[in-house]
């Protein structure tokens, strides 16, 4: 065996890992942009108009699953009643299973007659509450939104417009983070992340279909709703992608958006990210037929590139780059070249740690948010594995505190 073989193997591993990390976080976005431009050069997008008269608009249920949301009930109801859609065609439904604060009392006194409330004392989790509530809905379209997010006035019309295309089975709205001046790294990092994520989702939808929907604002055709396993962690993601597996697409509407505050601090943001990562791993298993490109074609490519890699191999490969780089140098690899790469990695980790240090002291620095939040997200994917084993997918609500407005 040649003495250079171990060093060569290490170099191959290093470059493979670097390629996958680059592709997952930047390369896919670049490739997606090119593919969309090529597609739209040859095939012009078809625009479907809204029905000509108000009377032809479909009835819509605005579906809010809530657990102990007394503090935001009034603001949410005011937001719902301000939406630009005929009042006789918009039905507001709250499912408040397990709530034991003043949520139900508030809805049944101040907002009596303005919303329908379905409640049972037993707390079984958000997914179970969604499934139970959907058996009581009879409108053709259902818009899901969270109690702590505020929706723009035109959102319902934008969503209904997307459903004019019969191929669309689900519509994903845009999630926006309201970053206050006083907010720290959690809200700042989350805001940057969602801006990039929204750009990818819009491109995904233009190529073929968005890959999943965020629970803050999304909609489905009622007949396509499918009861999910009660321990499902990412109900919005599983539900929307199971609709695509039936041959429908997920449209993405940037003009239908939900605004919510960023997480109160990085500890609260960590709770969310770990749970999402655990839900991502659970989703990969439950949606494994989607990994078959011969059956799902472009959708399989989008799903693997945009979601599966982030929630599975990429975080491991990211953190393997540093020890691989050191091992190459120790085994006699090109000193200058790999020395520079090692220096760049150490600089990136150093900037991330500096961002962590500043955020712990509530000092804002947008440049340092990026490496800090990037490393933070990937560490939480690894933590998500332990969470999934420990919780065994318990679907009960675990709310992360949001920053105050």
Annotate 64-109 with DSSP letters as a single string. EE-SS-TTTHHHHHHHHHTSSS-GGGEEEEEE-TT--SSHHHHHHH
CA 7, chain centre distance (Å): 40
pLDDT for residue 41 is more than 70? yes
Place of tokens 């979601």: 307
Position 395 scores a pLDDT of 58
Position 242 scores a pLDDT of 98
Position 332 scores a pLDDT of 86
pLDDT for residue 350 is more than 80? yes
Average pLDDT over residues 63-83: 95
**Cα separation of 374 and 384, whole Å?**
16
Radius of gyration of the chain (CA): 23
Position 6 scores a pLDDT of 83
Least confident segment among 104-113, 259-268, 280-289, 325-334: 259-268
**Percent of the chain residues past pLDDT 90, beyond the cut:** 70
* Higher-scoring residue by pLDDT: 360, 230: 230
* Sequence-ordered list of residues with C-beta below 8 angstroms from that of 244, at least 6 positions apart, any chain: 169, 170, 209, 250, 299
Average pLDDT over residues 366-389: 89
Band of pLDDT at residue 324, cut at 50, 70 and 90:
very high
Band of pLDDT at residue 63, cut at 50, 70 and 90:
very high
Sign of CA dihedral 155, 157, 163, 164: negative
Kindly report, residue by residue over 156-167, the tens digit of the pLDDT.
999 999 999 999
Across the chain, what does the average pLDDT equal?
90
Position 263 scores a pLDDT of 66
pLDDT for residue 397 is more than 90? no
Of 263, 277, 237, whose CA–CA distance to 380 is shortest? Answer: 277
Highest mean pLDDT among 30-39, 175-184, 254-263, 267-276: 30-39
pLDDT for residue 111 is more than 50? yes
Least confident segment among 7-16, 327-336, 359-368: 359-368
Domain ranges of the chain: 1-45+165-405
Place of tokens 């055709």: 221
Q: For the CA atoms of 130, 134, 140, 142, what is the dihedral angle to 10 degrees?
A: -20
* Higher-scoring residue by pLDDT: 206, 393: 206
Position 189 scores a pLDDT of 58
Position 178 scores a pLDDT of 76
pLDDT for residue 300 is more than 50? yes
pLDDT for residue 175 is more than 50? yes
* Higher-scoring residue by pLDDT: 196, 220: 220
Q: 43-55 burial by CB neighbour count: b if 16+ within 10 A, else e?
A: eeeeeeeeeeeee
Least confident segment among 83-87, 324-328, 386-390, 400-404: 400-404
CB 142 within 8 A of CB 220: yes
Average pLDDT over residues 303-332: 96
> Helices (H) and strands (E) in the chain — how many of each?
14, 8
Residue 219, beta-bridge partner list? 143, 171
* Higher-scoring residue by pLDDT: 25, 268: 25
- In this structure, the number of other CB atoms found within 10 A of the CB of residue 132 comes to 16
Residue 327, beta-bridge partner list? none
* Higher-scoring residue by pLDDT: 141, 102: 141
Band of pLDDT at residue 399, cut at 50, 70 and 90:
low
Of 138, 126, 284, whose CA–CA distance to 215 is shortest? Answer: 126
Average pLDDT over residues 247-273: 87
Average pLDDT over residues 165-181: 87
Q: Would you call 31 helix, strand, or coil by DSSP?
A: helix
Residue 112, beta-bridge partner list? 115
pTM above 0.85, yes or no: yes
Least confident segment among 112-126, 257-271, 284-298, 379-393: 257-271
């Amino acid at each position: 065996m040649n003495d250079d073989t171990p060093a060569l193997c290490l170099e191959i591993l290093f470059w493979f890992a670097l390629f996958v990390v680059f592709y997952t976080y930047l390369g896919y976005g670049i490739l997606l942009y090119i593919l969309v431009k090529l597609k739209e050069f040859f095939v012009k997008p078809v625009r479907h108009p809204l029905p000509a008269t108000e009377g032809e608009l479909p009835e819509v249920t605005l579906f809010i699953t809530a657990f102990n949301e007394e503090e935001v009930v009034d603001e949410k109801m005011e937001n719902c009643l301000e939406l630009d859609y005929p009042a006789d065609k918009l039905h507001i439904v709250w499912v408040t299973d397990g709530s034991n604060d003043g949520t139900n009392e508030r809805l049944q006194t101040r907002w009596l007659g303005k919303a329908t409330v379905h409640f049972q004392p037993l707390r079984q989790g958000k997914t179970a509450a969604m499934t139970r509530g959907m058996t009581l809905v009879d409108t053709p379209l259902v818009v899901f939104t969270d109690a702590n997010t505020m929706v723009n006035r035109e959102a319902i019309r934008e969503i209904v417009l997307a459903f004019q295309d019969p191929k669309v089975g689900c519509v994903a709205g845009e999630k926006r983070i309201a970053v206050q001046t006083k907010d720290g790294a959690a809200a700042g990092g989350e805001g940057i992340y969602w801006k990039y994520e929204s750009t990818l989702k819009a491109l995904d939808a233009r190529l073929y279909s968005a890959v999943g929907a965020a629970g803050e604002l999304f909609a489905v055709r009622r007949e396509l709703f499918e009861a999910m396993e009660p321990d499902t962690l990412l109900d919005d993601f599983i539900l929307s992608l199971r609709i695509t597996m039936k041959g429908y697409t997920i449209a993405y509407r940037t003009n239908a958006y939900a605004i919510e505050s960023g997480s109160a601090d990085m500890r609260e943001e960590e709770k969310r990210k770990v749970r999402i990562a655990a839900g991502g791993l659970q989703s990969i298993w439950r949606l494994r037929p989607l990994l078959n490109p011969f059956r799902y074609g472009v959708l399989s490519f989008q799903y693997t590139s945009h979601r599966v890699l982030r929630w599975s191999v990429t975080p491991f490969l990211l953190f393997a780059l540093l020890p691989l780089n050191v091992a190459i140098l120790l085994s006699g690899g090109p000193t200058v070249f790999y020395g520079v790469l090692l220096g760049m990695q150490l600089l990136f980790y150093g900037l991330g740690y500096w961002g962590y240090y500043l955020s712990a002291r509530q000092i804002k620095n947008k440049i340092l948010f990026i490496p800090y939040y990037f490393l933070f997200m990937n560490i939480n994917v690894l933590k998500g594995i332990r969470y999934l084993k420990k919780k065994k997918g318990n679907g009960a609500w675990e709310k992360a505190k949001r920053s105050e407005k």
